[in-house]
Every structure is written in C-alpha cells, then in structure tokens.
Structure 1
C-alpha cells in the first residue's frame, strides 16, 4: 500500500518557458484521424441465397450467430437449414434486392421501405446501398447484416420490427437484430436514423466492428457516421476501427454510447444522453483519439471513461454534466491525456477521477462547478514516479470536497487556477500535497506563481515566491 512522503519538494517554474512547453506538448498529443473516401463499386452485384454454417472452414463471419445460439432463432422462422442472402461482386440497393429475390418470406415491401427477414452477408468485393428508404429488420427470424465489404446508409431509417409480438428470449436475453462489420469492411452512415438494434452480448450490441482471428489480414474497419440519430441500441461497439462520428445523437442506450477498443477516433459535435448501465464514451487499449464539442448527459457511470489505455487522447470543449457519475474517469492507464476547455457541472461524483495512472495528464482551462466530491482526484495504490499531472488555468467553484487530491503521482505542476466560492473555507489540496498545501497556495493564489512539485523528493524547497509578481 502506498504511503505519502512527508515533505515533497516545490519549485517555481518560469511562466514563459512553461506555457511554450505546454503548447508544444499539446501539438504532440493531437492525433490526426482521417477516413478514406468510400466509393461504391460501379458494377451491379450478384445476389444468392445459400446455407449458413456454424462450425466449418469459412464460417467465421457467423461467429456472432454461433456463440449466441442465434441459429435457434433462425430455425423458428426458416423450416430448413438456416440460409442467408449473399451479395458479391458489386453494388446492390434494397429495391434490386427485393426485385431479384421476389420472395416475401425473405424480403418484401413494408410501410415506407422494406422488411428483411433473412440474415444478409455483404462480401469483401460488394456493397449494399440504402438510400432514401427504410429498412425494417424482422426480430423473430434472426435477421442481421454481416458486413465484410461496404455498407452505405444514407437518408434511411433502420430499425427492428417485432409485429407487436414478444421478442425471442435466449438465456434470459431478448434477441434483437444487429449489424456486425468485420475486418477490412467499411461502414458509412449519413443523415439516417437507427432504433431498437442489438442486445447485451458479445458481437451483437447494435452496431459492432471486430477483426476475426480467421481473417487472413488484420485490416482495420472504417466507420463514418454523420448527421444521424441512434435510439435504443445496446452500444456502438467499435473495435480495431478508424472512426469518425460527427453531429449525431445517441440516446437511451443500454451499455455504452460509444465503446472504442484499440481504435483511432474523432468523436465531435454529438449529443449523448440517457445511457442506462455504463459510460457515455469508453476508450480501451491502444488508441489515438479526439473527443470534442460533445454534450454528454445523464449516464449511469462516467460521461467519458478511459480504461487501460495507451497512446494519445484529447478531451476538449465538451459539456459533461447533469446526473452522470464522473465527468472523466481514467483507470489503469499509461497515456498522454489532454483535458482542455471542458465544462464539468452538476455531476454526482468527481469531475475528473483517476485510479492507477502512470502517464501524463494535462488539465487546462476547464470550468468545474457544482460538484459534490472532488474537482480532480488522482489515486495510485503504488507510487508512479514517472506519472505527471499538470493542473493549470482552471476555474473552479462550488466543489464540496477538496479541489485536488493526488496520491502516488510523481510530478505535479499547478498555477493560475481560479478558486471561487465555498471551497475557500476548506482544505483545497489533500493527499501527497497536503504537507505543503500552505506553500502551494501562497505561491499560486497569493503570488500567482506556477509551481512544480516533486512528490517523492526530500530536497528542501527554498523559494522567494514574491518574485512571481
């Protein structure tokens, strides 16, 4: 168990050198995320209906069906061995699909679009184009879209349909249709709406990306989502992907709003709210990502969660608010994290909470207000001498517990933070900084200095803070 040192060392930092270094660091952390242009094959695709297999060579695209017992769901609708639609060698529209198959048990016109009742596979060299229509995925037939090529959805509504009947239940879990995108595939969603897709199980969480171990090459999946609305999914579960989500809404999800694993991502200008079980956005693994200009409200766990990440993460200009537990939660991570220009307000826990952090965190220019716990808390059970925290130029008011708690962070820099309101009557710093709280507050609040604290040093500090004026 880590025990705090009694007397960390403190030194003044030259402001010009400090701010120039911060600008350079921010440029280094900022990732560049680009989605390649998605072009539909010019030729018309070929359509076949063929058998689905769960345990033989080449059956890996149906992994989500095999591990979740979904062949049983298909069997309730199809009398013979489970079959699927396959698109190969070009582009197909829903109208072409319906016209070619001409079987109402497989696909038929329905309401303002089409009702699909068979699983559908898009091969590597094929594309399915949904444009200016609606696609209803029948919930009693094991319907799903399996994408190995390009799935382009534009100005289209996609949702499950159960014909007012109870959904099929597997192991106490309600089946709902889903979309799975395998390695090397491309998914494009523009000006569209999605509802009631996916459920809380592996590879079937609504819209999912994954690379299968049986794929010959480990190509990332490209995902472009723009100007679209998502309601009542389990999650957007995006693994091994290059992701852009812009100007969209994510509402009333079960698990996560956006769940990113080993991915590159740019999540901008979105509204995420009413996430029932977990966090609004979660990032895991080796990442390069920007989360910017989003409003994330009313989520059960944290607005943004980073779990066991390495790489670079920018969290900037977001509103993280209203009944979520934490604004940002960092767990067991070794990454460069920039948290800048965000508004944290009316949360039920701590604005920025971290456990076992061994990377570098830069908390700059944020507004933190109406918080019932800490503004910022970084706790390590074992000391991390290389861990770095910069807490600079933030505006903080109405925080019930101390402003900053640090335990086991080797290097902490502070300065130009504006501390307003009731917190002036309580401890502002606790943990490793408590023994030198007086010196830090004198330097940073009275004399407006920027200071650096080496937590694990016993070197005596000898600074004339009046020189900072």
Structure 2
C-alpha cells in the first residue's frame, strides 16, 4: 500500500524569477525563487480505533473455544521455538541456573490458561497468593498453541533462568509480568551489567503476541533475541533437519498488538526484527535502559501511536533503524530521554512522523540519519539539548508545519558526513550517499539558541511560508547557519516580502 504520493519534485525549479550564485570553497550554490506552490504532500493516518482491550478479549474468548491444550516438560534442545536462543553463552547460562540439562514448560498444542499450566507442573510454576505465579523454568508456547495470562501476576525467575518464548499465540491481559530475583525477593532490576541474565519475552515468525492493559517490567539483557520484549523472524537453515516442519512456513513474520500497557526497566522496551503489522499504541514506556521503542531490520507497516516515552537511560525514546519503512509514528510524547526523542536511522524510508511532541531530550527532538523520503509534519520539538530536528545524509525529506522552539542548538540542522570514523558500521548492510536534500514549509522556528536553520553541503533545501523569530544571537538576522547564512538577504526578500518559495541548490561540477 502506498501511504502517500510525492508531488513532482521539479516544481521548485521552474518559473524562475531570480537567481543568485555564490561560491564556497569547492562548492557553488544558487538561490532560485518561484511562485507559491499550489499544493503540498497529501497523507492519511491509519484508523486505530479497532485496536482496543475489548477486541483483545474477543480474541481470547475465541481461543478459549478451541481444544484444550497439552502441556509437556521437555528438554529445551530440539524445540525450534528456542533454537535461536542457543547462540553464545545463553544456553549454558540457563543450564547453570537449572543445574541440569535445561528443560521448559511447553504448551505443545491447544489453548492453556496460566492456572492450568500450574496444575500440570506445580513444582515449576509455583502458585503464590492473590493469583501470583512464579515460573522456575522457561515457558514455551509451541507453534499453533495458545497461552492466556489474564488477571494474574507472572514472575519469571532470574535465578532459575526463566523466560517466555512464543511460537504460537500469547495473550497478556489485565496482568503483570515481571522478571523476578528470588535471592532478594524483588523485581530483577537492571544492575548496570548488560551481560547479566534477566528474564525476557520473545515471539517468533508466525506468532501473535497481544499485551493489553498490563504492566511488563524488569526484563532483558544483551544477548541474541533476549533484549526484553522481542519479535523476530526465524532463521532455520535447510540443513537443520530436526527443526524442519512441512506444515509451517518459517519465512513468516511475527505480529503483535501492544496496547494500553506500561513497560519499564526493560533493556529494550520493544525490539523487533523482520516483523510486520505491529501496533504499539496508548502505552507508557518509562525508565527503560537502552531504547524505549526500537523496531529494527526490514520491518514495515508499523503503527506507533499515542504513547508516552520518557526516561530512557542510554539512548533514544523511539528509534526505527535499518530499513524500517512505510510506517506511522504519530501522537506520541517522547521526552527526557538521554539522547533523541524520535530517531529514523539507516535507510528507514517513506515513513510518516506526525503530531508528536519531543521535548527536554538529551540530544535532538527528532533525528533523521541516512533515511530518505520521510514526512515530518505538525510536530512540536522544544527545549531539547541539541537541535529541534537534525538531518544527516537524508534526501527528499519534508518538514511541514512543525513548531520548533527553544532548543539549545539549531531549530533545524542539515548536513552530510562520510562516517569514516564509524568503524562499527557495516556499509554492505547500511549503504548510504553523502547527500541531504529536502523541503521546509509552514510552522514556527523560534528562540533556538544557535539559530533557525543550518545547512551544509546539501543538494538543495527549499523554504516556504516559515515563521522565524528570535533565533541565534543576532536578532537583526534570521539565524541561518552554514551555506544558508550568506544568502540571508535574498531569502528574506523572496520568502518574507514576496511570499515566494526559495531554494538553495548546489551546482554540480558538470553544470559549472
């Protein structure tokens, strides 16, 4: 589905009224002006009214009409639903914690409630008072099976290596799920040791995970698919004959709804890999460790809406990274995170970022790195410690009707960079061009300490109908920086006096 239609990008370069050339070192720029554009980008936001707790309960009610489930206690080895957790030291850590060959509580088929799981193996899922259960083994939901956790508290023992691995359908509704440290009888709070095991939840390709009106906390650590709350496609090789199934397509993507819930003290509040059709709406993500919300790697058709994300300790509140495209981020509040409020990274394209509030973050309000063709519209970005909106190596961005106020650096900062010092980057996985270009129209850019708009070595930057007030230290000028500053008078005349579109464009070598 095409989520918006790009207008003809040539309209800004036709009907030229005036042209100004200035050289800067090895680069030359030209200012073009033209008449007011007749229209702007059209986009629609998805209807999220159907993603409700009531709808989750309907789905659970239907699952309860299916056949009753079968619970087993097998070895972890040999279960495809935990195949990708064997990497590194994960398997051996669990073996040490269980002091034996690791086993699990596995919902093999059908639909199982948490209390039925307890009745089947009361030694390994201990029932405490007030509908509280302590899991002393990993819980596996097999392909095609269903586990329902409703109106209960499930504590996953850190000491015994407990976690939840979902290959079927998992419901967590009106419940609490918490990593639990038996040695101190407290939640498994993060200890600053990223490699120290903490319980986690993971959903695999073809699975469905529904978390509604619940509290999820104290999960995750730095190990494959163990970040806290993760959805990931399988990676089962043809040579792995013991895991092959004729009745299942391992190329399927995981799906899920995460709605009206609270997520806190999680290594990654949310992470996914090659997922589709994920809905993250009406939640609170607070005081998570590395990221609040982090969809990743070849994920599409996401809805991230109406969330409150704050207090992320290390990096960003909301980030989409490495080809996360054709998705929507709207009506969120992301604030007081250690770095950016919202970030688009590594070829995340054709996304719509609308009506968000990003404020008091430790870096930018909104950041675009190496990600083109994105719409950033009707957002409020204010009181951030760096820029209101930053763009790097990203082409054909659209900044429309944003309010960018009182940031410590520039309101909008656009540049290019070679990333030669980014030795951790795999340029085969993350190719990019050192080019930036885009359009800034409507809205207000005001009271930003370093200035209003900065652009360095951009292919082109277009301005129209901007309100620029009290930016930078020189109140007699509009606070431009980089290549734009030397064109101050021409831009003022064309945009503010004549009400025209102004484009600052780089002249390529062939055209000189």
User: 2:179: which partner in 1?
Assistant: 160
* SS of 1:409 mapped into structure 2: coil
In the other structure, the counterpart of 1:416 is 465
* Corresponding residue SS for 2:327: strand
2:85 aligns to what SS in structure 1? Answer: helix
Identify which range, 297-306 or 213-222, moves more after superposition.
213-222
1:361 to 377, 385, 397: 397
Question: Would the aligned equivalents of 1:184 and 1:221 in 2 still touch at CA under 8 Å?
Answer: yes
More strand by share: 1
Which deviates more, 142-151 or 214-223?
Answer: 214-223
> After the TM superposition, which residues 158-307 of structure 1 pair with which residues of structure 2 at under 5 Å, given as runs?
158-165=177-184, 173-214=195-236, 216-235=249-268, 236-241=270-275, 242-261=277-296, 262-263=298-299, 264-286=301-323, 287-307=325-345
TM-score (norm 2): 0.80
**Cα distance, 1:409 vs structure 2:** 2.4
Query: What is the alpha-carbon distance in structure 1 between the residues aligned to residue 407 and residue 322 of structure 2?
Result: 29
Q: Deviations over 1:294-331 (max 9, x none)?
A: 11111111111111124311111111001331011111
> What is the TM-score with the length of structure 1 in the denominator?
0.87
1:14 aligns with 2:23: no
- Aligned partner (choices 102, 107, 118) of residue 125 of structure 2: 107
Assess, with a 3 A threshold, how the Cα gap between structure 1 residues 350 and 196 changes in structure 2: closer, same or farther.
Answer: same
Distance 1:135 1:271, change over 3 A: same
CA offsets per residue over residues 32-68 of structure 1, 9 Å max, x none?
9998985636111111001122xxx655724224423
- Indicate the SS of the match to 1:441: helix
What is the match of residue 467 of structure 1? none
More relative contact order, 1 or 2 (CA 8 Å, 6+ apart)? 1
CA deviation after TM superposition for structure 1 residue 201, in Å: 3.0
1:385–1:456 contact (8 Å) kept in structure 2: no
Confirm or deny: 8 A CA contact 2:404 2:411 kept in the other structure. yes
Shift in Å at residue 31 of structure 1?
Answer: 7.5
Partner of 2:111: 91
Contact 1:385 1:410 in 2 (8 A): no
Matched, 1:374 2:404: no
Contact kept? 1:50, 1:86, Cα under 8 Å: yes
> SS where residue 368 of structure 2 aligns?
strand
Greater shift, 61-70 or 35-44, is seen at: 35-44
Counterpart of 1:351 (choices 376, 388, 411) is 388
**Aligned counterpart in structure 1 of residue 444 of structure 2, from 371, 395, 402:** 395
Q: How big is each residue's C-alpha offset from its partner over 1:394-453, in whole Å with a ceiling of 9 and x where there is no partner?
A: 212111112111223223221111112254334532333234221111111223222233
Alignment partner of 2:361 out of 296, 299, 323:
323
User: What residue in structure 1 maps to residue 67 of structure 2?
Assistant: 43
Q: Note closer, same or farther for the CA distance 1:256–1:211 as it changes in structure 2 (3 Å cut).
A: same
Q: Distance in 1 between matches of 2:192 and 2:496?
A: 60
Unaligned runs of 5+ in 1: 461-469
Maintained 8 Å contact 1:7/1:458: no
Residue 115 of structure 1 and its aligned partner are, at CA, apart by: 0.9
**Residues 60 and 120 (structure 1), Cα distance of their counterparts in 2 relative to 1, 3 Å cut:** closer
Match for residue 92 of structure 2? 71
* Residues 125 and 140 of structure 1, relative CA distance in 2, 3 Å threshold: same
Q: How many residues align?
A: 444
- Deviating 4+ runs (over 4 angstroms): 30-39, 57-60, 166-172, 382-387, 457-460
On the 8 A contact 2:305/2:332 being kept in 1, the answer is yes
* Aligned CA distance change for structure 1 residues 422 and 260 (closer, same or farther; 3 Å): closer
Aligned Cα root-mean-square deviation (Å): 2.9
* 8 Å contact from structure 1 (residues 181, 221) kept in 2: yes
Indicate if the aligned counterparts of 1:122 and 1:147 stay in contact, CA closer than 8 A.
yes
Residues 4, 95 of structure 1: alpha-carbon distance in 2 compared, 3 angstrom cutoff: farther
Report if the CA contact (8 A) 1:4-1:431 is conserved.
no
Structure 1 distance, partners of 2:271, 2:218, is: 15
Distance 2:222 2:312 in 1: 13
